[in-house]
């Protein structure tokens, strides 16, 4: 049975953590707010007050919630606070953009097929626990692969594992360093993440097992 992804009310939340630049957050905001698209960035949730996305949200007038995991007794309590903030604002889609924490199974169940993540490689290769930042690009270069890229996927209970929504291919150049490859992949990320969000917001994505169909 094909499961239709719930049609959103167009409101999206972005989750960030760590010391991320917030460049995907920025790309999402610019793409989603500039066009006639059906989505709206309603909320930024950050597990760190100091990260780039918080500053960027401020300059765009986007509501920001900074929640420190230290304020909570457990991972579950932390995720419940995020879930409550999301549900109470009628948010239909949660986008992880440099969110380094593993979401609890309870959170994932509550928002199944409504949480997206972006990964800087072509999944299912070069993903999984510990594969983040420059490590991903180091591993790609070391492997000798000629192509890398970016993947947007729905989030399930395993790292970098949920159904794939969109991918972009990026060539690996002979003289690439992890940083030069990361820079090129990042440009692809900024393109495909807003595209995937727009497809969701238009109700065009449906999930059947591990496969995501883009409906006309
Ligand atoms: C990106 O490379 C993304 O693929 C990964 O985390 C990084 C976040 O970068 N999930 P930024 O903070 O959006 O610039």
Q: Which domains does the chain have, with CATH numbers?
A: 3-210 (3.40.50.170)
Helix (H) or strand (E) holding 27: helix 23-34
The preferred substitution site among 186, 190, 196 for testing ligand 1, maximizing ligand atoms within 8 Å of CB, is 186
- The helix (H) or strand (E) run that includes residue 116 is strand 115-119
Around ligand 1, the residues with Cβ closer than 6 Å are 20-25, 97-98, 118-120, 186, 189
- pLDDT (tens place) for every residue of the chain, 216 residues total: 455 554 444 799 999 997 778 999 999 999 987 766 788 999 999 998 888 999 999 999 999 999 999 999 999 999 999 999 999 999 999 999 999 999 999 999 999 999 999 999 999 999 999 999 999 999 999 999 999 999 999 999 999 999 999 999 999 999 999 999 999 999 999 999 999 999 999 999 999 999 999 999
CB 44 within 8 A of CB 65: yes
pTM of the model as a whole = 0.94
Residue closest by Cα to atom 7 of ligand 1: 98
């Amino acid at each position: 049975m094909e499961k239709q992804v719930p049609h959103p009310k167009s409101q999206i939340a972005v989750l960030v953590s760590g010391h991320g630049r917030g460049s995907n957050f920025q790309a999402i905001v610019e793409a989603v707010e500039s066009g006639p698209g059906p989505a709206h960035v309603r909320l930024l949730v950050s597990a760190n007050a100091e990260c780039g996305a918080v500053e960027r949200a401020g300059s765009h007038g986007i509501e920001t919630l900074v929640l420190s995991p230290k304020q909570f007794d457990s991972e579950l309590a932390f995720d419940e606070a995020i879930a409550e903030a999301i549900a109470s604002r009628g948010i239909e889609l949660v986008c992880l953009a440099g969110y380094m924490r593993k979401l609890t199974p309870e959170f994932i169940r509550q928002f199944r097929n409504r949480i997206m993540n972006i990964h800087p490689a072509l999944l299912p290769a070069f993903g999984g626990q510990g594969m983040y930042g420059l490590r991903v690009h180091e591993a790609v270069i070391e492997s000798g692969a000629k192509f890398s890229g970016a993947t947007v996927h729905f989030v399930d209970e395993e790292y970098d594992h949920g159904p794939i929504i969109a991918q972009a291919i990026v060539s690996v150049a002979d003289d690439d360093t992890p940083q030069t490859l990361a820079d090129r992949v990042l440009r692809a990320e900024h393109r495909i993440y807003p595209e995937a969000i727009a497809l969701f917001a238009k109700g065009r994505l449906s999930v059947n097992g591990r496969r995501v169909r883009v409906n006309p």
